[in-house]
Amino acid sequence: MAEPGAPQPAGVDKAKIKQFLAPAGALAAVIVLACLVVFVSGGDGRNMSDGSNGSTDDPDLKEVAPGVRYRDVKVGTGTPCPEGAEVTIHYTGWLTDGKVFDSSKERGQPTTFKLQNLIKGWQEGIPGMKPGGIRKIVISPDKGYGSRGSPPKIPGGSTLIFEVELIASAPSTSTTAGSGAMASGPGQSMPSDQSNGGTDDPGLKDIGDGLKIRDLKEGTGEPVKPGASVLAHYTGWTVDGKVFDSSHKRGKPMQFSLNGVVQGWSRGIPGMKPGGIRKLVIPAALGYGEQGYPPDIPGGATLIFEVEIVQ
């Protein structure tokens, strides 16, 4: 799920905590994509994919929300992407010095996210795009990774420049609590091993700023690095036991970049190995903040995730 979530990413199979997470039950239809976008931009005046202004001082940028500006490089066709949708996109992201910090194009495949799992700048900057459209999005630090950044690729206080191509989008649907749901009280269990599923789990380790983790299963192979692209299964709950997102319910894992999801994922997933399963307890400040992500995630919500790294 993700600020994976997917993305929310928020949020997940998409991932996008998230690569940012996605509501269990009847979550959005899964979307398929195909390809696109390469561009170089930055404060030095280099260009977007169509040769147009790629810098932050582009006079044609429009403010869609405080700290988020955009310009449509190419207008797509069809139904506009709604807020909170599950999207399939190609994208490249730069710092203002022109350095690329992430690109789905370089990985050779588009990425599917649920918008609620992603950083705020994407949540606010992508809705309204149509399939086939390409958009330049300039995101201020407070709508991206803030003063902390996302080391090692994104320094603290960074303004980010993205070129995003929307391949497909589908409205997401809320998930109701049910099979696999858990609450924060004693006796509730994690789905994978039936261990303590609450926020009061004594086995949790605080890794900073209230973000807590516990490995339910150790994986094997190379550990996930900060900012990496990962394929993962996940389920996310609020502390009252309601499932708000689950890749398992969609029947497929989600591919997402740790540079595009909420901070709880970008900081809590690195170090996991393929096959590993980790419980994450994410405070609101590293998730969706005081605004939440209505209707699934209330403002100020602490989130509980079970994340499995597929590869």
Residue 69 is predicted with a pLDDT of 97
Residue 113 is predicted with a pLDDT of 81
Annotated catalytic residue: which of 20, 39, 70, 91?
91
Annotated catalytic residue: which of 101, 244, 256, 288?
101
Annotated catalytic residue: which of 20, 39, 113, 162?
162
Separation of CA 269 from chain center: 12
Annotated catalytic residue: which of 89, 119, 167, 304?
119
Residue 183 is predicted with a pLDDT of 38
Residue 188 is predicted with a pLDDT of 57
The CATH number of the domain covering residues in 62-170? 3.10.50.40
Determine whether 218 is exposed, middle or buried from the number of CB atoms within 10 Å of its CB (0-12, 13-18, 19+): exposed
Q: Is the pTM of this model over 0.75?
A: no
**Domain ranges, ordered by start, for the chain:** 62-170, 205-309
Residue 80 is predicted with a pLDDT of 94
Task: Report residues of the chain scoring pLDDT below 50.
Answer: 1-45, 174-187
Annotated catalytic residue: which of 102, 201, 245, 296?
102
Q: Strands 111-114, 86-95: parallel, antiparallel or unpaired by DSSP?
A: antiparallel
39 close to 49: Cβ distance less than 8 angstroms: yes
Closest residue by Cα to residue 82 from 140, 123, 35, 51: 123
Annotated catalytic residue: which of 145, 244, 256, 293?
145
Q: Is 288 a catalytic residue?
A: no
Site of tokens 């988020």: 68
How far apart (Å, rounded) are the C-alpha atoms in residues 91 and 163?
6
Q: Is 145 a catalytic residue?
A: yes
130 close to 79: Cβ distance less than 8 angstroms: yes
Q: Is 234 a catalytic residue?
A: no
- Choose the CATH number for 205-309 among 3.30.70.100, 3.10.50.40, 3.30.450.40, 3.40.50.300: 3.10.50.40
Could you check whether 62-170 and 205-309 share the same CATH topology? yes
Q: Is 245 a catalytic residue?
A: no
How far apart (Å, rounded) are the C-alpha atoms in residues 13 and 20?
9
What DSSP designation does 86 have? Answer: E
Structure confidence by residue, pLDDT tens digits, 275-292: 999 999 999 999 988 888
Residue 34 is predicted with a pLDDT of 28
Q: Is 39 a catalytic residue?
A: no
Residue 12 is predicted with a pLDDT of 37
DSSP for 226-268, please give it.
TT-EEEEEEEEEETTS-EEEEHHHHTS-EEEETTSB-HHHHHH
